Amino acid sequence: MNLEHILFFCMKNPLIHSFTTDVSDVALPSKFTFPFHYEPHPLALAAAASLQEHIISQKWFEKGGLQEELGKMFGVLVVQEKDGGLGYLNAFSGKLAGSNNHDGFVPPIYDMLDENGYFLRESKKLEAITDELLQLEENAAYHEHITKAKKLQKENEQKLDAQRLKIRLERAARKKYRATQESQLSTADFKNLQEKHNQQRINDRFLLREYEVYLNDKLAVHMDVVRSFQEQIAELKESRRLKSNTVQDYLFAQYNFLNALGESRNVVSIFEEFTGIVPPAGAGDCAAPKLLQYAYSNNLKPIALAEFWWGKQAPSAIRKQGYFYPACRSKCEPILGHMLQGLDVEENPLLLNPAVDKELTFIYEDEHIVVVNKPAEFLSVPGKVITDSVQERLRAKYPQATGPLLVHRLDMSTSGILLVALTKEVHQHLQEQFMSRKVVKQYVALLDGIVNSKEGFIDLPLRVDLDNRPYQMVCYEHGKPARTRYEVVAVENNYTRVHFYPITGRTHQLRMHAAHRDGLNAPILGDDLYGKKKDRLHLHAASLTFKHPISKEQVTFTAETPF
């Protein structure tokens, strides 16, 4: 296929863009992109480069632009028509510059911002109900009557308690008086005294009830007003709930997704089958589903997909301008699981055992502990699919060992020292050293960028990104403390070699602290989660110092850095 043919094809549909570079010699991929773990195909890279030039020309993300505060995920989909014509589609996740529609980008599955659309019209009605509800809840008269009612209710309780005490004291006095008069009075006169006191008790009860009614009547003046407001508030809340459900049901009905087999499924049924939950907000509005939906709707064959971030990174998650990222899990995985049916998709590399031809190096061994040097791309413990791991291989080598064996873990992509306990008692002793932070760990990392400071301390609390596991994110509200000390060793051709000394041991701690803008703002070289993929993750557990659980000697083990 020549370039002229490609350009002619793209002119037939304004949303199918022609390549600005000659791609006639680029071979098509044998399979479609696996969207959750991939390296962009050269065609997708060429398409992304053209889209990035367009984004720059629009100045959306420059100072003073509409999206100055934060960046955005963009996507490109290389497509092919039945006659062989090749081009690519553009998309963005969510809305861009306050709109769901921009020239040159595929449309949303459903435009919630359409001024004449049902969703926006009914959403405005919901906002009106919410505003009315807020006015009622904040009404000055409502709160004034609540305050007066609470004050009066307290005063009434005090008055009633005082009256009850007065009655009890008077009753006790009468009882005491009768005791003194029983021997002084005749039987008839004492009987008359008893009847008089009984009548007084009946009168006290009656008067107490009447007094309570009187006090409650004064309280009712305020409570009636309060109840009137509360009834109106309850009615509005129920009205809002019903209308919200109606609008949500309508919205769900608009999100129907095609796949390569021509089958259409609604988003509710997709999520019900995949997760058993209601679709989260924004499901279907990401770039990848938009691109595939447009391709299927226009009889275009998807060839390759890539998504990248443009603009400032968020304060919590790590997104760097121009870096490619996989599709999100919580919103896109169920939808894309349906949409990719009928396509020949690349295998999920996470289901392949990367440690097949790799061996563990044994640094030290006695009857109590073992120290091994784990290669990169080697699981520490069995995963959901892949069981081959350091722990499983050690169980086979030391069948007599008791306990969990591994005292700590390394990420699959991280190489270096792992400490192993051969008995349950030794494992417990070593774990106590880790938990009390008496173990000194040194990691060597090569960072993709230049760090100007010579040393420092990073304190960024971390938690899992619930919408996109296994990614971590910085969270000052719910995150667990994560602290790292670092030293810069050398700068090597725009890379920075550092030593990390983690004080805590959170998941992806060093990777996050390196890549995050409030950390070193330089991802570890080869970090396929928070940076750019290379031949390996350049992170190595180089040294471990601890007290031997039996000899009580301070020991240090090292493993040569392989990069």
Please report, for the domain that includes residue 430, its CATH number: 3.30.2350.10
Whether residue 329 lies inside any domain: the answer is: yes
Can you say whether residue 269 is alpha, beta or left, with left for phi > 0 and alpha for psi between -120 and 50 degrees?
alpha
Whether residue 516 lies inside any domain: the answer is: yes
Q: What is the pLDDT of residue 69?
A: 57
Cα distance between residue 377 and residue 536, in whole Å:
8
Q: Are 92 and 217 in contact (CB under 8 A)?
A: no
Please identify every stretch of the chain with a pLDDT value under 50, giving residue numbers as ranges: 1-11, 67-68
Q: What is the pLDDT of residue 276?
A: 84
Residues 456 and 539 placed together within one structural domain of the fold:
yes
Helix (H) / strand (E) element for 296: namely: helix 287-297
Q: Are 461 and 480 in contact (CB under 8 A)?
A: yes
Q: Which residue in the block uniquely carries the two structure tokens 């998504």?
A: 307
- The whole model's pTM is what? 0.79
Q: Which residue in the block uniquely carries the two structure tokens 């809305």?
A: 95
Of 304, 328, 349, which marks where a domain is finished?
349
Residues 456 and 551 placed together within one structural domain of the fold:
yes
Q: Which residue in the block uniquely carries the two structure tokens 């028509």?
A: 81
7-43 confidence digits (pLDDT tens): 444 446 889 999 989 998 999 999 999 999 999 999 9
Q: Are 244 and 122 in contact (CB under 8 A)?
A: no
Tell me the Cα Rg of the chain: 36
Can you say whether residue 107 is alpha, beta or left, with left for phi > 0 and alpha for psi between -120 and 50 degrees?
beta
Residues 388 and 344 placed together within one structural domain of the fold:
no
Residues 393 and 273 placed together within one structural domain of the fold:
no
Number of Cβ within a 10 Å radius of residue 497: 19
Q: What is the pLDDT of residue 379?
A: 96
Mapped onto helix, strand or coil, the DSSP state of residue 275 is: coil
Torsion angle in degrees (nearest 10) through CA of 221, 225, 230, 235: 130
Of 349, 374, 392, which marks where a domain is finished?
349
Whether residue 123 lies inside any domain: the answer is: no
Query: Which residues are the active-site residues?
Result: 411
Residues 315 and 191 placed together within one structural domain of the fold:
no
**DSSP, res 454:** S
Whether residue 116 lies inside any domain: the answer is: no
Mapped onto helix, strand or coil, the DSSP state of residue 49 is: helix
Contacts of 147 (CB under 8 A, 6+ apart): none
Q: HSE on the CB side for 339, CA within 13 Å?
A: 29
80, 246, 319, 477 from 472: Cα distances, Å: 37, 35, 12, 14
Residues 302 and 449 placed together within one structural domain of the fold:
no
Residues 394 and 532 placed together within one structural domain of the fold:
yes
356, 371, 386, 535 from 377: Cα distances, Å: 10, 18, 12, 11
Whether residue 545 lies inside any domain: the answer is: yes
Q: What is the pLDDT of residue 385?
A: 87
Which residue, among 513, 325, 481, has the nearest Cα to 522 in the 3D structure?
513
Written as one letter, the residue type at 233 is I
Cα distance between residue 230 and residue 247, in whole Å:
25
Residues 497 and 413 placed together within one structural domain of the fold:
yes
Cα distance between residue 310 and residue 320, in whole Å:
7
Whether residue 408 lies inside any domain: the answer is: yes
Residues 378 and 424 placed together within one structural domain of the fold:
yes
Domain count, the chain: 3
| N-terminal to C-terminal alpha carbon distance within the chain | 43
Q: What is the pLDDT of residue 378?
A: 96
Of 251, 273, 305, which marks where a domain is finished?
251
Residues 388 and 521 placed together within one structural domain of the fold:
yes
Expressed in percent and rounded to 5, the helix, strand and coil fractions of the chain are 40, 20, 40
Looking only at the bridges linking them, the beta strands covering 495-502 and 483-492 are antiparallel
Residues 419 and 438 placed together within one structural domain of the fold:
yes
Residues 175 and 191 placed together within one structural domain of the fold:
yes
DSSP 258-273: E-TTS-EEEHHHHHHH
**Domain range for residue 50?**
3-109+256-349
**Continuous H helices in 138-258:** 140-181, 187-254
Whether residue 128 lies inside any domain: the answer is: no
Cα distance between residue 262 and residue 132, in whole Å:
46
Whether residue 43 lies inside any domain: the answer is: yes
Rounded (10°) angle between helices 140-181 and 187-254: 160
